[in-house]
């Protein structure tokens, strides 16, 4: 089956690939834009980029219900384990692990990562997924950084970049990121959840078309993207 992504609002994505269901940064029950609730998703794997509530909120609940394996940094895996996640794959920045659906590498992110109860959440990260039919780079919550060029060197089929500004890259820096990564397709994320991160994604997509070779794909929450 060709890889298909569904945007579940904010920084949350559902990826179906090679008979695996992968949920990134689950924030559903309290998200004002999520098209589904946590009880409506059944992932095999849950990827968590960093400890902020808008990325980790439903992770323990879903992991307990589905027995999904949590993939995150060591500290967040420990924290979710204490809350009942039975299966974890701890890793850290620069590391790659092999999973049944493909390879997962944790990349750097310029951000912070404290957990909702104040516990240390390790370093924030992004994820580079090498799947049977292509590569997806989730920058997750980050500012712009020059090593995105290195991430792009391996050939990225889809880059998912934050454009919300204030807490992450905004549209201008996300455009620069596309120039560094040179992905085949790019999708915006982490915007329009609340008033402080409202952005015009269509206007941004037009700039991507005008100034880069990447194909921008803008979907509404619930919308799907084919790799």
Residue 75: contacted member of Ni ion, Mn ion, none (CB under 5 to 8 Å, by partner type): none
Question: In 3D, which of 99, 96, 122, 127 has the Cα closest to residue 111?
Answer: 122
Question: In 3D, which of 51, 22, 1, 59 has the Cα closest to residue 160?
Answer: 22
**25 touches Mn ion (CB under 5 A):** no
CB of 13 closer than 8 Å to CB of 49: no
**58 touches Mn ion (CB under 5 A):** no
Q: Which of residues 69-128 bind Mn ion (CB under 5 A)?
A: none
CB of 225 closer than 8 Å to CB of 219: yes
Q: Which is nearer to Mn ion, 54 or 58 (CB)?
A: 54
Q: Which of 58, 141, 165, 173 binds Ni ion (CB under 5 A)?
A: 141
Stretch that binds Ni ion, among 51-59, 91-99, 183-191, 195-203 (CB under 5 A): 51-59
Q: How far is CA 158 from CA 65, 79, 92, 175, 184, in A?
A: 30, 30, 22, 14, 6
Q: How many residues bind Mn ion (CB under 5 A)?
A: 2
We find the least distance from the C-beta atom of residue 141 to Mn ion, in angstroms, to be 4
Euclidean distance between CA atoms 74 and 90, whole angstroms: 5
Q: Which of 26, 48, 54, 164 binds Mn ion (CB under 5 A)?
A: 54
Q: Which of 6, 27, 31, 52 binds Ni ion (CB under 5 A)?
A: 52
Site string for Mn ion, 125-164 (x = CB under 5 A): ----------------x-----------------------
Q: Which is nearer to Mn ion, 71 or 214 (CB)?
A: 71
* DSSP per residue, 121-159: ----EEEEEEETTEEEEE--S----TTHHHHHTT--SEE
Question: In 3D, which of 142, 172, 177, 171 has the Cα closest to residue 159?
Answer: 177
Q: Which is nearer to Ni ion, 141 or 165 (CB)?
A: 141
Q: Which is nearer to Mn ion, 54 or 75 (CB)?
A: 54
Binding site for Ni ion (CB under 5 A): 52, 141
Binding site for Mn ion (CB under 5 A): 54, 141
């Amino acid at each position: 089956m060709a890889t298909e992504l569904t945007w579940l609002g904010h920084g949350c994505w559902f990826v179906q690939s090679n008979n695996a269901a992968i949920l990134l940064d689950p924030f559903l029950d309290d998200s004002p834009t999520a098209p589904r609730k946590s009880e409506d998703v059944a992932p095999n794997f849950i990827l968590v980029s960093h400890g902020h509530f808008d990325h980790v909120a439903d992770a323990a609940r879903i992991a307990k219900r589905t027995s999904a394996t949590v993939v995150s940094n060591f500290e967040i895996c420990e924290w979710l384990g204490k809350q009942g996640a039975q299966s974890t794959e701890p890793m850290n920045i620069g590391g790659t692990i092999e999973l049944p659906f493909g390879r997962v590498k944790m990349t750097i992110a310029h951000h912070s990562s404290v957990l909702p109860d104040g516990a240390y959440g390790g370093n924030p990260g992004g994820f580079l997924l090498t799947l049977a039919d292509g590569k997806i780079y989730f920058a997750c919550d980050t500012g712009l950084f020059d090593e995105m060029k290195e991430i792009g060197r391996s050939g990225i089929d889809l880059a998912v970049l934050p454009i919300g500004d204030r807490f992450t890259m905004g549209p201008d820096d996300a455009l620069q990121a596309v120039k560094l990564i040179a992905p085949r397709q790019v999708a915006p994320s982490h915007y329009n959840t609340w008033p402080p991160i409202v952005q015009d994604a269509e206007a941004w997509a037009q700039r991507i078309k005008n100034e880069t070779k990447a194909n921008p794909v803008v979907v509404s929450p619930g919308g799907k993207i084919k790799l």
